[in-house]
Chain A
């Protein structure tokens, strides 16, 4: 589903964020990318849909080559990749439903969409996605009136509205308390199991990673330092991932 070969990302002047990553993700996997802050997890995820431009390497997602794709091709690729962010990244002043409808932008003709009109079928789909995260009753509310956990569920609904092949979640629970962390991760697991969607989720919490992942990819200083099932995460592996203490 995802193939990454020789990925390097450097930021000017000379910060190497991702330093030669090779990674293949099979359909239906729940991959947790584990590492401390600044290890390169976020840059790795963001380069998969080219929110960050890779410096070198090849990325393929769902059978299409991401690297080197032209603008139109890139949009077709991006709409197959749902993305969830640490800060939820909802449009605060827009309604919950409008935020979810944004997930359809890649599918509708661009010019009419600028008037803010979406086909009835998209409205139905957006409501269905909201129902799946248990928030259909809040569809008309302004996004910034929701709690943090609810906002992240709206963001998940927005990603689902893309009917994507892959969902990337960049530290989806880092801004939430432990109870909400479980709630969000449970929703992600349900998506993974029930829809068979491929998930790549970055995390800095070891326990959360081990509880949900079908596969753990440890990242340290921009390189893959561990790759295996949660059962194989031994103290030595933890050391290799975190180089020292495990952050809380």
Chain B
């Protein structure tokens, strides 16, 4: 049985290598070109810094606004798709809806919204909202399903309404988790937002794509450096905040 599984795995692996034309020798031959690419990016052209920085600010803004709105929209959805809060009639459709919308990435949503509302940061914000709402709702619902039953019983026993039970028995248990998930999504959304510009949805990705197309590698390398610094700064700030929550 084990041997058969191993053999099947080997065959699948071989087929994958063949079908993707994966070829280590070809990579080896290409390595000099990577160095050539890097050499042509040096030195970075810092004359483009002002516009690149403006792009970076837009990217952070897209991620911040999108994540904030999504964090709020995901709240009702999260409760509705938690097994221990919603009835079966609500839970199953809500979960199916979440899984459906979550199966498409932010970049694909950006394409749709650029077509719908035109170029600029706004379709980027919409794309971040569309993906993040459903992915946060899923994380929220899992946090809600993991709560302690005891405090919920105790609040129920005081004569509280269902909403009061959620507010005073459930929410205090899950809120720190929710905030930590939101910060985590903010970090990933900064990364996602850097490439939204590639499809015309605003931010620093627009500059990166433009400079690469114009074969202006020194300007592109400035853009990459700014991106790396921006992502690292947001990550550091966010993980500090998260450490305080837990």
Q: Give A residues with C-beta under 8 Å from B.
A: 49, 51, 75-83, 85, 87-94, 102-107, 110, 113-114, 116, 155, 158, 162
Contact B168 A102 (CB under 8 A): yes
- Nearest 10 Cβ contacts at the A-B interface: A106-B159, A79-B159, A89-B150, A89-B154, A78-B159, A105-B160, A83-B157, A75-B159, A91-B151, A110-B161
CB of B164 closer than 8 Å to a CB of A: yes
Bound together, the chains give a CA A47 to CA B155 distance in angstroms of 16
CB of B200 closer than 8 Å to a CB of A: no
**With A87-B150, A90-B154, A93-B173 as given contacts, are A106 and B168 in contact (CB-CB < 8 Å)?**
no
Distance in Å: Cβ of A240 to nearest Cβ of chain B: 31
CB of B172 closer than 8 Å to a CB of A: yes
Task: Report 10 cross-chain contacts, Cβ distance below 8 Å, ordered by A residue.
Answer: A83-B154, A85-B153, A87-B150, A89-B153, A90-B154, A91-B155, A94-B172, A102-B158, A105-B155, A106-B159
Contact B161 A89 (CB under 8 A): no
Bound together, the chains give a CA A169 to CA B150 distance in angstroms of 14
Bound together, the chains give a CA A107 to CA B159 distance in angstroms of 8
Most A CB within 10 A of own CB, among B155, B158, B175: B158
CB of B180 closer than 8 Å to a CB of A: no
Bound together, the chains give a CA A77 to CA B156 distance in angstroms of 12
Contact A158 B173 (CB under 8 A): no
Q: Give B residues with C-beta under 8 Å from A.
A: 150-151, 153-161, 163-164, 167-169, 172-173, 175-176
Which A residues touch B168, using CB under 8 A? 91, 94, 102, 105
Which A residues touch B163, using CB under 8 A? 110, 114
**With A113-B164, A114-B163 as given contacts, are A78 and B172 in contact (CB-CB < 8 Å)?**
no
Which B residues touch A51, using CB under 8 A? 153, 156-157
Q: Give 10 new A-B contacts, CB below 8 A, not counting A80-B159, A91-B169.
A: A51-B153, A51-B157, A81-B157, A83-B154, A91-B151, A91-B155, A91-B173, A92-B151, A105-B155, A105-B160
Bound together, the chains give a CA A77 to CA B160 distance in angstroms of 11
Which A residues touch B169, using CB under 8 A? 91
Contact B160 A93 (CB under 8 A): no
Q: Across the two chains, which residue of chain B brings its CB closest to A83?
A: B157
Bound together, the chains give a CA A158 to CA B164 distance in angstroms of 16
Pick the contact of A105: B151, B153, B158, B173 (CB < 8 A).
Answer: B158
Bound together, the chains give a CA A83 to CA B153 distance in angstroms of 9
Most B CB within 10 A of own CB, among A75, A87, A89: A89
Q: Across the two chains, which residue of chain A brings its CB closest to B152?
A: A89
Pick the contact of B164: A81, A88, A110 (CB < 8 A).
Answer: A110
Which A residues touch B161, using CB under 8 A? 75, 105, 110
